[in-house]
Amino acid sequence: MSESETKSEPNGTNETSALGGSLGTPWFDFAKLDFSRNPFAEMAARGVTDYGLKLLEVSSANAASAIDFLSHVLECRSVSDVVAISATEARRAVESAAARNRELFGLAQRLASHTGEPIRNHLVNAVRQAS
């Protein structure tokens, strides 16, 4: 058996069609696409990076808060202290989650507007040129 006969596609088959992909789907070679000079891709990559960094920051803050809460709970001497600390931590967690969600929503909204605006402008220019 040759290598081409044994090599299977991502869906586990080795069937290809006249279009090049498995089961009649077109086969695109994304490795040939150069996104480095595409301003849309650069803006999207920057926005996604900012969003990902904010998610890491949120995760780090949540982990630190959980460790802090656990250390306070371990210092408690009575059940009433645990209940009081739990209530305080729950209130603080809700407030910080609301603030972080606002920040994440702002980043997502900015990402959508920064990447969508050039595409919209490009389409408007294309329609103007066509008419």
Quick check: 88 pLDDT over 80? yes
Q: What is the dihedral of CA 89, 93, 96, 101, to 10 degrees?
A: 180
Going from N- to C-terminal start, the domains of the chain cover 1-33, 35-130
Q: How far apart are the first and last CA of the chain?
A: 57
Query: Residue 118 corresponds to which tokens in the numbers above?
Result: 């050039």
Is the distance from CB of 52 to CB of 108 less than 8 angstroms?
Answer: no
pLDDT of residue 122: 77
pLDDT of residue 48: 82
Which CA distances in Å does 101 have to 17, 50, 87, 90? 47, 14, 21, 16
Quick check: 68 pLDDT over 50? yes
pLDDT tens, 38-64? 666 777 778 888 888 888 999 999 999
pLDDT confidence bin for 65, thresholds 50/70/90: very high
| More confident of the two residues 66 and 21 | 66
Quick check: 5 pLDDT over 60? no
Output the furthest CA–CA distance in the chain (Å, rounded): 78
| Separation CA 96–CA 108 (nearest Å) | 18
